[in-house]
Chains A and B, each alone.
Chain A
Amino acid sequence: MSKVTRLPIRPKAEAAADSLWVINYFTACGFLELFSWVGSGYDMERFGILPVATPRHADVLIVAGYVTEKAVSRIKRIYDQMPSPKYVMALGSCPMTGGMYWDSYSTIKRIDKYIPVDLWIIGCPPKPENIGKAIVMAREAIKGGFGGH
């Protein structure tokens, strides 16, 4: 009879960090840079990240691109529908500074005034390598005990 080796039971946080499901809210060019992560080029499934269709399945909300006053109420609704623990990433300059619409009457300037933002990937738009670095940082933080919201 062969000996059965039992795998060690992994802590919950570590397991969660290995399967982050992502809901995307994209309005602008930031998503073009994330395409290569969704696709086979950089392949974010290697990190256990999966784009999902509904916020009720998601762990991470990625907000990329300009957010209008009308869109921010929808983003809040998406955020409220996500189960805890949940994490929010802001991608690119636009959702956190207003970008070139800094003096527009209908574009909000800082998304973190409306929902908590855990990670901001700077760039206009950020390169795929920066997004990868952010994903690794997020995984490390969650494994290190960061509980989200």
Chain B
Amino acid sequence: MAKYLIVGNSAAAVGAVGSIRQVDKDGKIVVVSNETHSLYSRPLITYLLAGQVDKNKMSYGDPMFYRKNDVEEILGKEVVAVHPAEKKVILNNGAALPYQKLLLATGGRPIVPQVEGKDLPGVFTFTTLDDAKKVDEFIKKNEVKSAVVVGGGLIGLKTAEALIARGIKVTIVELADRILSATFDRKASEIVETALRERGCELITKNTVWKVTGRGVVKKVVLQGGVEVDCQLVIFAIGVMPNTELAKSAGIEVRKGIPVDDRMQTNIPDIYAAGDVAEAYDMLMSTKRQIAIWPNAYAQGSIAGSNMAGDAKNYDGSFAMNAVEICGVPTISIGLTDPQEAGYEVLEQYGKESMVYKKIVLKDDVIVGAIFINKIDRAGVFRALIKSKTNVGIFKADLLRDDFGFVWLPETFRKHMVVGEGTEV
């Protein structure tokens, strides 16, 4: 019997395994994944497609991680039911797996719009290693020269970038009036859009796919309003929805995702949730919601694992953020980057030549958001200031300095924030 059963095999699972083993060296850990591949790094799939990472180097960190931590992986199996009263789960082959503590780290799955032609060969989503392999094979077999990526979010853009790297002419179709509209402001979007266009990528905004056509294989997409784009490949990357069905059928409270308390426990004892499927505390919004990014998934998994192993730890919350480089443009966006309501103060620096863009959003002298484009060094200091809700009033004028760092903070702050352990002031 598994002392710890984890459903899902990505960031949250890895975080959980690590922290369980800090406390419990030999309690049995079982990870069930509906994928046939052993633990690998999902975000690497776009790098694999681009040819920047070898297919033998897809493992997450040390390929021996699970073996060293004595984790049993059950691959290619779906958990079809959870029975909280009997503390067991049922797999799609009928097998029952009892558990003492269960972690639902089921993540999300890509949304495919219900449009005509969505099932044509050449239409894909792009979130798993199998997707990457299928797309790669399709490109080779059909000598793909042109593609349409539907969705200008992170997955869409990283996929587009990979296709461009393979010499494919890419058209991105985005429903909003700009790419990365969820995390960027207009200027930041424009800088990345420019970089994409410079690489020959075409952008169509404020539009989406009406239908995909072709006889036996994709030939073109037809957008709303009738605009046609010829292409041999279509990638849908319009968003991801959490895999909550299992939790719902088990009687676990489900909203959009699975709400959890500050120990990452669901409303049913001994059942935890973490990662993209979980709704954990967002300290900027003061509410529970999903923030589907890798660092949060890992941190939540890690907290869940500690608590599952009996080492009580609280999740102190997070907020939206992301780091990504697209077409040679490094970017970091944190927190509220473009609030529309009154009451916010914005500090900005923009170099038309350098394309360096820095933006800091404050409310009542507390930083609540930041954007860094092309110059991202030390962005983490700003994340820390946001997280600690530090009042920056007295050194506000220095925040945009190129050499901004701890030296600009008053000594008491330095002592508190930076300096901390191992430093003397």
Q: Do the two shown chains form a genuine complex with each other?
A: no
